[in-house]
Structure 1
């Protein structure tokens, strides 16, 4: 009962964070969520909880698919193409990790995503705001 209440609270807190977030922050949250799911999948593999492993890797893959789906090829050019290929590679590798129960593959994917997230987190606020304004004007 206690765990259900905690999970419900966490869901509501996340909904509140997402509702007040801009695109940049949502991408940050998605990346963090995928990394968290990969950590949980590794724990599940170590404990031989295969159902939990599948659930966590499925969610991590779905998040990576969402990140890949957010890419704007008109604006991003070659960087966008490279990110698309990298996200696709990471999704394929998570499938391999699930089939093989191999935590080293999860470490590889998590490491790649952490590098992308680190670069994303390093974007200065003024550049983020300028890019957001330009993309909004471009979409109109």
Structure 2
């Protein structure tokens, strides 16, 4: 799951050194959680930029969100015959299209739609991350 394309997306999406350290120390599932959180945060900031009529900043933030979602999509193993992977791929494509539309129309409602989608899926990734961390911790105890 963790690959060089995903790490490049992180480097593009995040410029904070402390966050980079967290990224490089995270598990693959932990990286997905960080990407979701980063996309949600960028959408919130883009919405505020629209409200403030700072359209150049909005464009930068929407592009950042698209880059994050693209990184998530590129990390999927589409060679698997897995319905969940196919559905996530389709959802990421849909979100990218909606973000492009929101960017063109300066539409905070479309941004809110994509944010809700990400916020709906994020808890599942967070739970998977907690489970994998507790399994890893239990394995290291022996």
TM-score w.r.t. the length of structure 2 is: 0.79
Matching of residues 23-62 of structure 1 within 5 Å: 23-62=28-67
**Cα distance in structure 2, aligned partners of 1:30 and 1:76:** 24
1:30 and 1:51, CA in 2 relative to 1: closer, same or farther beyond 3 A? Answer: same
- 1:129 deviates by 5.1
Greater share of residues in helix: 1
Aligned length: 121
TM-score normalized with structure 1 length: 0.80
Distance 1:12 1:93, change over 3 A: same
Larger Rg: 1
Q: CA deviation at 1:122?
A: 2.1
Gaps of 5+ in 1: 1-9, 131-140
RMSD: 1.9
Structure with more contact order per residue of length (Cα contacts < 8 Å, sep ≥ 6): 2
**Contact 1:24–1:128 (8 Å) recurs in 2:** no
Deviant stretches of 4+, over 2 Å: 73-76, 126-130
